[in-house]
Structure 1
Amino acid sequence: MNWLTSWIPKIRSERSESVPDDLWHKCNKCEEMIFRSHMVDNMWVCTICDHHERMRAHHRLVSFFGSESNFKTEIPPRLQDDPINFSDTVSYKSRLKKARAKCDMDDCFEIGVGKLEGNSVVALAMDFAFIGGSMGRALGNAIVHAAEISIRNKIPLVLFSSSGGARMQEGIFSLMQMARTTIAVKKVKDAGIPYISVLCDPTTGGVQASFAMLGTVTLAEPGALVGFAGKRVIQQTIGEELPKDFQSSEFQFKNGFVDKIVHRSKIALEINRIINILK
């Protein structure tokens, strides 16, 4: 054994101990390598191409309210996990257990009640990392809970959507949440309280077809995918080529489905401005 072969394991060992695995982040658009800490500080917006990456629910609430101390987390009543005892290649209960361990959260959302400048707000942020942000009974229950807080305290409701749609593992119960959440946000609006919907990447399926598009004011982040069915499915159905920007937030704005596209760094200021106008 020569000196080189004896030193390689030592070099590898020292390198693995001194360099954390999550030091770098590769932008999903420009594919440049960026320090993860820079992405965190910049609200998960690429510092090179300005691409808005998907954001974890808790980090979104912290960024929105300004700090951890500016809001209190609300936990809705817990429901039974597996209403239809679903199983495919693995059981639904196993998928939930794995997602909870990976994401360190109970389901695909977090609710925060706090101050935005001088205005009290209840905000719910969805998390795509948890089973694609899919909507099951837990999310429906959380939106109803957030709406009840909004009505009881007469404070605006803000929902940040990021979802692939209804959670298939809950069958018809997941589809029922479309009606349930629609009624919940309608009650907020009927009480004369602003409901502000923010469409983040992606907002699709049953979420897009229910509460996400019913805001008193509907905002969207730049470049977010917003639509119901997939582009390829629609093209095959109608037999026509669709525009390149089809189902982007910019396309939805151009066609009147979104009121304004707002950069993530300005979303709190814009929502506070809207609340001041509407109250």
Structure 2
Amino acid sequence: MSDKPDIGELVLVGAPLGNPADASARMREILATADIVAAEDTRRLSRLARDLAVTVSGRVVSYFEGNESRRTPDLVRALTEGATVAVVTDGGMPSVSDPGYRLVRGALAAGVPVTAAPGPSAVTTALALSGLPSDRFCFEGFLPRTGGARRSRLRTLAGEERTLVFFEAPHRVAGALADLAETFGPDRPAALCRELTKRYEEVLRQPLGELAAAAVAVPPRGEITLVVAGAATVDRPRPDDDTLRAAVTDLETTGMSRRDAVTAVADEHGLRRREVYDLVHRSSLTPD
């Protein structure tokens, strides 16, 4: 008599964004033992398994945007028959702007347990690296592809007080940044994060206008996450010059370099780094 359970389990597996060393031990175990591994890109899964020295013993099926609706019922049926199904995308957590949501809904409707092996997230990684307020934020995923629809969406977000996080494709990022600068204002602080955790990781922390100009001059490549300061960061009253100088001095007393202290104070108050630097520099040149 088989000891196979009457019902299976769906496991959402957080995959490394680019650096295989970020894979968890639990991820390795699930990939090695799951009955079915539903992968957004089966070739990337094979490459990741090789990098992790993991043998995927279960059946591997493709599960991406183009076949997600068609394949979900088959996977739900396998779950109800006792299979453990792991979902893994090209990077980050399944169902966060990636395949997985439909299967989660289908599994829950069928009474199948759903769990996760948490892993890296481009959303929270970019947010943490951006230097922008991270206590309250909202994730907007990908903006609409066409300019008119994109600008319309951005107009509804212009007054959002929380920090905003977007995904964007390399070939659309210049247009997206231009629309962001036009709608939110060119001085709104932002960060363009690309190739997170990979060899050529880069985080550009500049106002939207400067990022838009840079993207036209040298189009960025790779996977891109945009982090944009909320309206509250921009619209709050600017501290007076003495307060800003004192804030930089306080950070310097903790051992922070002047450059880093100026950057931290500028980011906190939604100001240009040059503006804060000039205040501090003029003060250091003023005789007592």
Bin of the TM-score, shorter chain as denominator length: under 0.3
Higher relative contact order (CA 8 A, sep 6+): 2
Normalising by structure 1, we get a TM-score of 0.26
Normalising by structure 2, we get a TM-score of 0.25
Structure with bigger gyration radius: 2
